[in-house]
Structure 1
Amino acid sequence: MKERSYSELMKSGAMNRQKSSESFVLELYIEMLLSEVLLTSKKEKLLTLIDQAIDDRNQEAFVHLSTQYRELNKQFGS
């Protein structure tokens, strides 16, 4: 087996740390993207249900769904 010098080992370690860091950032970005898609989907569904409650003149459903929508916005700061 070929022995590597100290500088080669240090370079190799630095490259591994950089790859690990890049991997972490990529995973974080993917997680954020999926969260955003899920949030947008939930909001769209609630808005559709709110519109349906208005069309049906269902005040109870409207109040309940509107409260859920406001809580979702408050929870995610949107």
Structure 2
Amino acid sequence: MNEKSYTELMKLGAMKRNRLKENFVQDLYIDMLLSEIQLTVEREKLLQKIDAAIDSRDKKSFLLLSMQLKEIYKKFGT
């Protein structure tokens, strides 16, 4: 007596698929946002270290930190 019609079952299946898609997109967005925050923090720290290396005229540190900054920019896709 509690059987659902084919149409009802199809609607339920479609609703479930939509929820799964929405959850996937939401999880993807959160992951992208967290990655962006992490890269931004790393970049800011490196920029501060580069400024300190310039102020202390430490060419070796400057070059090393600059290479690391280039890698960060590659991760950003710029």
Name the TM-score, length of structure 2 as normaliser. Answer: 0.93
Work out the CA distance in 1 between the residues paired with 2:34 and 2:28. Answer: 10
The root-mean-square deviation of aligned C-alpha atoms, in Å, is 1.2
* C-alpha deviation, 1:74, in angstroms: 2.4
* C-alpha deviation, 1:72, in angstroms: 1.7
Match of 1:24 in 2: 24
Work out the CA distance in 1 between the residues paired with 2:75 and 2:32. Answer: 15
Q: In structure 1, give the amino acid aligned to 2:62.
A: F
Match of 1:14 in 2: 14
Q: How many residues align?
A: 78
Match of 1:3 in 2: 3
Question: Structure 2: which 5+ runs fail to align?
Answer: none
Question: Structure 1: which 5+ runs fail to align?
Answer: none
The alignment partner of 1:75 has SS state of helix
Name the TM-score, length of structure 1 as normaliser. Answer: 0.93
Q: Tell me whether 50-59 or 9-18 shows the greater mean CA deviation.
A: 50-59
The alignment partner of 1:33 has SS state of helix
Show the 5 A alignment for 1:49-64: 49-64=49-64
**Moved beyond 3 Å, runs of 4+:** none
Match of 1:33 in 2: 33
Taking only the aligned residue pairs, the percentage that are identical comes to 55
